[in-house]
Amino acid sequence: MGSLERQPESIVSRQALTYSKDTHMHKFSLAAVLILGSSLPVLAQDAGTATGTFMNADGMEVGNLTLTQSDGGVLITGTIAGVAPGQHGIHFHQIGDCDGTTGFESAGPHFNPTGHKHGLENPEGPHLGDLPTVESNDEGNVTLDLTSGQISLTEGDEGYIFDEDGTALVLHADPDDQITDPSGNSGDRIACAVIEADTSP
Ligand SMILES: [Cu+2]
Ligand SMILES: [Zn+2]
């Protein structure tokens, strides 16, 4: 019977994998090298990057960021200075507009193209713009080193951030509780960076 033959198949293949693990790994790595080798020029062209400059509400430059698209998501690196020590909420917001005179309300709500609720721990969440909290050290410096599997620099992806009105990365005064809609009780918006696509070749 088909089902009887099919069922042991997975067991057999599992055994085979254990039995000839070295052979399999060898094949996999060979394949990986071949795939990587053939697509390297394409990867170099398509590897998206973006940058931004953080402003505080007084309009002073307080930091910068770089976004780098990779297979595992978008790597977010950068620094923000002059931030009270402790945990702070940080999110991508829907509009690429950082107007300090509005307390950065100009950046709109969290980036949320899928219509979910706020928070990485919210069963009805998260917003695609939600991120883990970041920490400012005793000198008041935040070092950004995060990866988001939710946003994308690649057009056509669900989390593509370069929609018509752009996107901003916003740092808050308070920690993000990761569940309270719509912004995790993270308080005032204290720094904001408009995300700009890197168009250099
Ligand atoms: Cu926010
Ligand atoms: Zn959110």
Instruction: Mention every residue, 6+ apart, whose C-beta is less than 8 A from residue 188.
Output: 103, 172, 173, 174
Nearest to 109 by CA among 168, 151, 193: 168
Verify that 27 and 86 share a domain, yes or no: no
Cα of 121 vs centre of ligand 1, distance in Å, is 16
Verify that 119 and 164 share a domain, yes or no: yes
Residue 27: give the domain boundaries. 2-46
Verify that 26 and 97 share a domain, yes or no: no
pLDDT digits (tens, 9 = 90+) for 100-146: 999 999 999 999 999 999 999 999 999 999 999 999 999 999 999 99
Cα of 14 vs centre of ligand 1, distance in Å, is 46
Verify that 66 and 140 share a domain, yes or no: yes
Contact 183, 175 (CB under 8 A): no
CATH number at residue 115: 2.60.40.200
Verify that 100 and 148 share a domain, yes or no: yes
pLDDT digits (tens, 9 = 90+) for 30-85: 444 444 444 444 443 455 899 999 999 999 999 999 999 998 899 999 999 999 99
pTM of structure: 0.77
Cα of 38 vs centre of ligand 1, distance in Å, is 41
Residue 185, sorted as left (phi over 0), alpha (psi -120 to 50) or beta, turns out to be left
pLDDT digits (tens, 9 = 90+) for 70-90: 988 999 999 999 999 999 999
Verify that 31 and 127 share a domain, yes or no: no
Verify that 139 and 68 share a domain, yes or no: yes
Contact 136, 88 (CB under 8 A): yes
- Rg of the chain, C-alpha, whole Å: 22
Contact 126, 118 (CB under 8 A): yes
Ligand that comes closest to the CA of residue 104: 1
Instruction: Mention every residue, 6+ apart, whose C-beta is less than 8 A from residue 162.
Output: 50, 153, 155, 195, 197
Number of domains in the chain: 2
Helix axes 21-46, 2-19, angle to 10 degrees: 90
Verify that 119 and 101 share a domain, yes or no: yes
Ligand that comes closest to the CA of residue 129: 2
